[in-house]
Amino acid sequence: MAGSLHLPVVDLALPDLRAAAESIRQACVEHGFFYVTNHGVDRGLLEAVFAESKRFFDLPMEDKMALLRGANHRGYTPPYAEKLDASSQFVGDLKESFYIGPLDDGDMHNDVNQWPSEERLPSWKETMKLYFAAVLDTGTRILSLVALGLDLDADFFHKIGALKCPSTFLRLLHYPGEVHESDSGNYGASAHSDYGMITLLVTDGTPGLQICREKDRNPQLWEDVHHIDGALIINIGDLLERWTNCAFRSTLHRVVAIGKERYSVAFFLDPNPDTLVQCLESCCSEACPPRFSSLRFPPIKSWDYIAGRLNSTYK
Ligand X SMILES: O=C(O)CCC(=O)C(=O)O
Identify the residue among 142, 266, 283, 306 touching ligand X (CB under 6 A): 266
Minimal distance, residue 192 CB to ligand X, in Å: 6
- Site map 182..221 versus ligand X, x via CB under 6 A: -------x----x------x-x-----x------------
| Contacted entry of Fe ion, ligand X, none for residue 203, CB cut-off 5 to 8 Å set by kind | ligand X
Closest to ligand X by CB, 144 vs 251, is 251
Q: Which is nearer to Fe ion, 113 or 199 (CB)?
A: 199
Q: Which stretch binds Fe ion (CB under 5 A): 12-20, 34-42, 152-160, 192-200?
A: 192-200
145 touches ligand X by CB under 6 A: no
**Which is closer to ligand X, CB of 96 or CB of 160?**
96
User: CB of residue 293 vs Fe ion: minimum separation in angstroms?
Assistant: 28
Nearer CB in complex with ligand X: 103/173: 173
3-state SS track over the chain: CEEECCCCEEECCCCCHHHHHHHHHHHHHHCCEEEEECCCCCHHHHHHHHHHHHHHHCCCHHHHHCCECCCCCCEEECCCCECCCCCCCCCCCCCEEEEECCCCCHHHCCCCCCCCCCCCCCCHHHHHHHHHHHHHHHHHHHHHHHHHHCCCCCCHHHHCCCCCCCEEEEEEEEECCCCCHHHCCCEEEEEECCCCCEEEEEECCCCCEEEECCCCCCCCCEEECCCCCCCEEEEECHHHHHHCCCCCCCCEEEEECCCCCEEEEEEEEECCCCCEECCCHHHCCCCCCCHHHCCCCCCEEHHHHHHHHHHHHEC
Q: Return the residue nearest ligand X (CB atom).
A: 264
* Single residue of 52, 96, 194, 238 touching Fe ion by CB under 5 A: 194
Question: From residue 230 to residue 259, what is the string marking binding to ligand X with x (rule CB under 6 A)?
Answer: -----------------------x-x----
Question: Does residue 81 bind ligand X (CB under 6 A)?
Answer: no
The minimum distance between CB 286 and Fe ion, in angstroms, equals: 35
Q: Which is nearer to ligand X, 53 or 144 (CB)?
A: 53
In the complex, the residues that contact ligand X under the rule CB under 6 A are: 171, 173, 189, 194, 201, 203, 209, 253, 255, 264, 266
The site for Fe ion (CB under 5 A) is made up of 194
